[in-house]
Amino acid sequence: MLTIRDIAAKAGVSVSTASRALNNNPRISQATRERIQKLAAAEGYLPNYNAKNLTAGEANAVGVVFPTTAHTVPENPFYIDLLRGINAQLVQRHYVLSVAISATADELLKNVQSMVAQGKIKRFILFYAHEDDPIADYLRQQHLRFVTIGQPDQQHNDLFVDNDNLQAGIGGATFLLDQLHVKHPVFVESDHDWAYEHQRREGYARVAARFNVNPLTCKLGELNRVRAFIKRHPEIDGIMATDDFNGIEFYRLLRETVAVNHFPIVSFNRSLPAGLTDADLHSVDLFPEKMGNAATVLLFSDREPLATPTPGQIRIPYAIG
């Protein structure tokens, strides 16, 4: 194993000079610095991060915390893309991505605490934004840096990255009404009252108003209630859903009564392969990978100031595909 001592010896300098040269310390002359860096690169020297971490008192790792319950099945592909985006940023910084994932909140907290206490991990990304979250509380109390995915509790002003759900709602609805020529849309949401659903609905409502169209809305849940709703609204000729699953579920119920085909649906966050439905399914792409990127950049913004000054939050735009 090649150590910094070997490099120092080959370069004919002391270990401390080598160390400083490799870390671009301005106290080492430009010439020496370059010479040593070239040498190190040529020899294939790579620093031992365990040693680095020991002296730094901080690990070169970012903790990524998954929500406890997998309930949110629809979000799964989203998580993977987030991981991609985050890791792409981390490798550049010679950081490693460590995940905390557990069945219960208790275990999860222990997992995170151990990362902090034993592993000296000082930076985290939370894959959820809950109110009164014990993990977030703990991190705040320890004065550790973290970014949440999704807009968190307003009262602490934590760092977060979120979609611009309002704009995405506006964009999706405009596409549905304008491009797909839908006259009698229905907005379909889950029965969870999630914040992002409200925001998307608000966007939809605004566009509906602009197009002079009735902003019909249906919340999923008890099937017969939904069926009754559909019976009452035979005029529906297009669906805007908060995600693919909700959209397709509503469509299935709709087709129990009316024989339609190639029916226009606009949803968010494409999470299903084509070919699963004969609907004319469009999706507002929310770029989870970009969210991962942005979250990481924000997480390191204490060291590496952001290009554009931002107030501790980033909103990712959307696109329709």
* Site of interaction with DNA (CB under 7 A): 1, 3-5, 12-17, 19-20, 22-23, 27-30, 32, 47-48, 51-52, 54-57
Applying the rule CB under 8 A, the residues between 59 and 78 that interact with a second copy are 59-61, 66, 70, 73-74, 76-77
Q: Which of 9, 41, 42, 46 binds a second copy (CB under 8 A)?
A: 46
Residue type, 232: R
Q: Which residues pair with 149 in a beta bridge?
A: 161
Q: Which residues pair with 160 in a beta bridge?
A: 148, 313
Residue 9 makes contact with a second copy by CB under 8 A: no
Q: Which residues pair with 217 in a beta bridge?
A: 187
Q: Which is nearer to DNA, 36 or 286 (CB)?
A: 36
Contact 72, 49 (CB under 8 A): no
Q: Which is nearer to a second copy, 173 or 226 (CB)?
A: 226
Structure token digits, residue 257: 């009564």
**Distance (Å, rounded) from C-alpha 223 to C-alpha 243?**
18
Torsion angle defined by CA atoms of residues 46, 50, 55 and 57, in that order, rounded to the nearest 10 degrees = 130
Cα–chain-centroid distance for residue 54?
Answer: 30
Counting residues that bind a second copy (by CB under 8 A) gives 55
Residue type, 128: Y
The residue range among 84-92, 178-186, 199-207, 302-310 that interacts with a second copy, by the rule CB under 8 A, is: 84-92
Structure token digits, residue 154: 């307003």
Q: Which is nearer to a second copy, 89 or 174 (CB)?
A: 89
Min CB(300)–DNA separation in Å: 17
Q: Which of 106, 278, 302, 304 binds a second copy (CB under 8 A)?
A: 278
Q: Which is nearer to DNA, 28 or 316 (CB)?
A: 28
Coil/strand/helix, residue 208: helix
Q: Which does 301 bind (CB under 5 to 8 A by kind): a second copy, DNA, none?
A: none
Min CB(160)–a second copy separation in Å: 22
Q: Which residues pair with 320 in a beta bridge?
A: 284
Nearest to 89 by CA among 306, 263, 295: 295
Strand pairing class (159-163; 185-189)? unpaired
Residue 101 makes contact with a second copy by CB under 8 A: yes
Q: Which does 306 bind (CB under 5 to 8 A by kind): DNA, a second copy, none?
A: none
Q: Which does 91 bind (CB under 5 to 8 A by kind): a second copy, DNA, none?
A: a second copy
**Distance (Å, rounded) from C-alpha 227 to C-alpha 286?**
30
Q: Which is nearer to DNA, 35 or 227 (CB)?
A: 35
Q: Which does 38 bind (CB under 5 to 8 A by kind): a second copy, DNA, none?
A: none
**Concatenated DSSP letters for 109-123?**
HHHHHHHHHTT---E
- Mask 280-299, x = binds a second copy (CB under 8 A)? --------------------
**Distance (Å, rounded) from C-alpha 179 to C-alpha 264?**
10
Burial class (CB within 10 angstroms; exposed 0-12, middle 13-18, buried 19+) of 170: buried
**Site residues (CB under 8 A) for a second copy?**
46-51, 53-54, 59-61, 66, 70, 73-74, 76-77, 79-81, 83-84, 87-88, 91, 94, 96-103, 107, 110-111, 114-115, 117-120, 245, 248-249, 252, 256, 271-273, 275-278
